[in-house]
Amino acid sequence: MRAARSLPFGAGDPVVPPLVQSVAFAHGSAAEQDAIFANERPGYVYGRYGSPTTAALESALAELDAADGAVCFATGMAAIHAYFTGCALAAGGRVVAQEDPYGATRALLERLAREQAADVVFVDPTDASAVARALEERPTRVLYVESISNPLLRVTDVAALASLAHARGAKLAVDATFASPMLTRPRELGADVVIHSLTKYVNGHGDAMGGSVAGAGDVVAEMRERAIIDGGYLPPHEAWLILRGLRTLELRVRRQCETALAVARHLAAHPKVGRVHYPGLPSHPQHELASRQFGGAYGGVVSFALKSDTREAAFRFLDALEVVASATTLGDLYSEILYPAMSSHRRMDLAERARLGISDGFLRVSCGIEDPEDLVADLDRALELT
Ligand SMILES: Cc1ncc(COP(=O)(O)O)c(C=O)c1O
């Protein structure tokens, strides 16, 4: 895992409490305001154009993501939408995307393809020759992947995909939400653009939503323009909460990864569990890659299927849990469980869901910072009822 020294904040952090921060008044003389509007000098003229607190979060993220800059949006999906419409698919761009990204990302791409004739194809990102073939079919602007996929926890080889994309004139964009900047910095491995749902690990307290796009200057300029004209910019109060979360990112993620590894090992040996997906287990198909790419940590999420792989067993299991909260989100201080067949993958074609392995008894646990023994005891008690 990444060292704490690289977390970009300190006592001099220029965070302005949001309540004393005006978003309505332009500052400085008319000539100074004119220069700010013209992007000739830094400054703030209106909340949607930028605010000191959101700017502080953006500069911290730009440093964490090793980027020229970052732009923050109201949610992860707002960031992803801004990137696809503003950069990747703008003016006839073509996207080759991971076949199993976060459900709303796939739904967004399918919708853009259906309603706006966007050129999008889906591919298995762990199959290098399939990715190469897809990139070669037609000129492609962006290859889009998640560094750890949701909810199957497949791991993508960022360095290899970056070379593959660049050799064919495409950029690589990585949604690094699950890995967080603590496990990987995709731009240091060759990726061009890094996207986060800040709602998850970066904030980590389950009390604010946000998203970010980080990259080179041209991407940042386009994302800034999208935030201004589409209106999805992250408001200062949320940025303030997310900056608060960022301060403990390293501590939280370290603990969550240790707990997740213990939970994954325990579940893998449990007679009521059919299969476990966790990059830290030697049985995971990309275990060796994950060890190399993530520096010895494997993320805080564990997915597994019940041996009794049915909806009834899953319901009994979910209803019996006391420590693990039923929640659609992940990456928070407390442990959370998601039942994809009921929620995120409810609308997915049944055959496609089965092909991917998201069966009726498939569950996703996001480990919190509780005592790991409490967590394991809670899971064990509920498993007895399946
Ligand atoms: C990998 C990934 N990317 C993006 C998102 C969307 O983020 P948000 O819910 O903040 O819009 C999610 C949400 O779960 C996610 O898991």
Give yes or no: residues 362 and 298 share one domain: yes
Indicate whether 363 belongs to any domain. yes
Render pLDDT for 325-338 as a digit per residue (tens, 0 to 9).
999 999 999 999 99
Render pLDDT for 342-376 as a digit per residue (tens, 0 to 9).
988 887 888 988 888 999 999 999 999 999 999 99
Evaluate whether 322 touches 377 at the Cβ level (below 8 Å).
no
Evaluate whether 291 touches 306 at the Cβ level (below 8 Å).
no
CA 229 distance to own-chain centroid: 24
Indicate whether 29 belongs to any domain. no
The verdict on whether 378 is a catalytic residue reads no
Give yes or no for residue 31 having a pLDDT over 80: yes
Indicate whether 21 belongs to any domain. no
Task: Return the CA Rg of the chain.
Answer: 21
- Taking each helix axis from N to C terminus, what angle separates 76-83 and 103-116, rounded to the nearest 10 degrees? 40
Give yes or no: residues 128 and 56 share one domain: yes
Evaluate whether 360 touches 341 at the Cβ level (below 8 Å).
yes
Give yes or no: residues 255 and 375 share one domain: yes
The verdict on whether 175 is a catalytic residue reads yes
Half-sphere exposure of 45 (CA within 13 A, CB side): 15
**CB count in 10 Å sphere of residue 146:** 25
Indicate whether 1 belongs to any domain. no
Give yes or no: residues 238 and 278 share one domain: no
Give yes or no: residues 354 and 241 share one domain: no
Give yes or no: residues 272 and 186 share one domain: no
Q: Say how many Å lie between the first and final Cα of the chain, rounded.
A: 35
Give yes or no: residues 131 and 92 share one domain: yes
Domain of 58, CATH number, reads 3.40.640.10
Indicate whether 292 belongs to any domain. yes
| Cα–Cα distances in angstroms (integers) from residue 89 to residues 103, 139, 188, 212, in the given order | 19, 12, 24, 18
| Cα–Cα distances in angstroms (integers) from residue 303 to residues 208, 319, 328, 361, in the given order | 25, 18, 14, 11
Give yes or no: residues 359 and 318 share one domain: yes
Domain of 282, CATH number, reads 3.90.1150.10
Query: How many independent structural domains does the chain possess?
Result: 2
Closest CA to 148 of 123, 193, 187, 180: 180
Indicate whether 41 belongs to any domain. no
| Cα–Cα distances in angstroms (integers) from residue 24 to residues 14, 27, 47, 280, 316, in the given order | 20, 10, 7, 49, 52
Give yes or no: residues 89 and 216 share one domain: yes
The verdict on whether 298 is a catalytic residue reads no
Query: Which of 216, 246, 276 delimits the end of a domain?
Result: 246
* 138 vs 21, more confident: 138
Give yes or no: residues 271 and 123 share one domain: no
Q: What backbone phi and psi angles, to 5 degrees, belong to 306?
A: -70, 150
The verdict on whether 49 is a catalytic residue reads no
Instruction: Over range 48-58, report the average pLDDT.
Output: 90
* Ligand 1 shell residues, CB under 6 Å: 75-77, 102, 146, 150, 175, 177-178, 197, 199, 209, 211
Give yes or no: residues 358 and 340 share one domain: yes
Amino acid at 42: P
Cross-strand bridge partners of residue 145: 174
> How many whole angstroms separate alpha carbon 147 and alpha carbon 310?
29
Query: Which of 211, 246, 281 delimits the end of a domain?
Result: 246
pLDDT reported for residue 7? 57
Q: Quickly list DSSP for 157-216.
A: -HHHHHHHHHHTT-EEEEE-TTTHHHH--GGGGT-SEEEEETTTTTT-SSS---EEEEES
Give yes or no: residues 238 and 254 share one domain: no
Name the pLDDT band for 37 (thresholds 50, 70, 90): confident
In angstroms, what is the span from residue 151 Cα to ligand 1's centroid? Answer: 11
In angstroms, what is the span from residue 71 Cα to ligand 1's centroid? Answer: 16
pTM: 0.94
Q: What is the DSSP letter of 43?
A: -
> How many whole angstroms separate alpha carbon 193 and alpha carbon 28?
34
The share of the chain scoring above pLDDT 90, in percent, equals: 81
Render pLDDT for 148-183 as a digit per residue (tens, 0 to 9).
999 999 999 999 999 999 999 999 999 999 999 999
Indicate whether 35 belongs to any domain. no
Is residue 8 helix, strand or coil?
A: coil
> How many whole angstroms separate alpha carbon 375 and alpha carbon 184?
26
**Which residue owns the Cα nearest ligand 1 atom 7?**
76
| Residue 312, domain extent | 249-383
Query: Which of 196, 212, 246 delimits the end of a domain?
Result: 246
Indicate whether 18 belongs to any domain. no
> How many whole angstroms separate alpha carbon 255 and alpha carbon 123?
33
In angstroms, what is the span from residue 257 Cα to ligand 1's centroid? Answer: 19
